[in-house]
Structure 1
Amino acid sequence: WDALSSFSFGHIAKHIGRIYCLMFAALIDYALIITMLLWVPRENQLWVLFILAGLWGVADGCWQTQIAAAYGTLFTENESAFSNFHLWESLGFVIAYVYTPRIRIRYAHIILLCVLTLSMICYAIIEIR
């Protein structure tokens, strides 16, 4: 779903704009995180995990393409911005992999909600300016 989403959002953003694509991805992520916070898994609900993973892939495909497009627009003369983006993205992965096993998953989801909210606020500020 990630690859199909990346391809699709690349074309959709041309028609509706990057901000709406990212808002859609954020809504998917909010719904998924809240679902994971509230859902109590049962043995016969394995299919739900596949739906959650597929939707996560849809949102991730949007994030990957639209953030790269935003960097291309914001930093037209500075190719090192892409390296900087990937550096911080990788650092974020490392931080999450370090703290997640040491805390309850509920708290990891709450942290994820907070980071998503902060990210969307910062992106809105960039779009307004």
Structure 2
Amino acid sequence: HVHGHFFALLSGYIDKFQLSEEWHRFTGDSSITDVRKCYGEPRAALHEVCKYACKFSDLDDPKLWEFHQGVNGGRMFDPAGNLRGVLTGELDQDSLEGLSGPYRDWVATWLWLEKKYHLQAGPPPTMLPYV
């Protein structure tokens, strides 16, 4: 099943019902969404979202090595159904219709030796009119 964790810097409100409808349109079979407002520093919230990309980051060195040996050469991501065999272009070639509003890209890099993420802002946000 399609599963994702997203972090968005927005000045406006996210309509949970509209998001559920769009998510169902995107996935074809799921409308479960969870939207939460972040309080405090945005960087802390971004770390919270990013940690789901690799929960094994809390493992001690022997367990981390065991994990590495277990998954090395394995397939961690397996597109299925209509996505099997789909080739993608450049990341800026998204063709989803009806998307608008300002956005800001962030790149999260896991620093293994320091056991933390390094967050770097992407290009300046593009300001598009809301629809």
Normalised by the length of structure 2, the TM-score is 0.25
Q: Over alpha carbons, which structure has the higher Rg?
A: 2
Normalised by the length of structure 1, the TM-score is 0.25
The structure in which a higher percent of residues are strand is 2
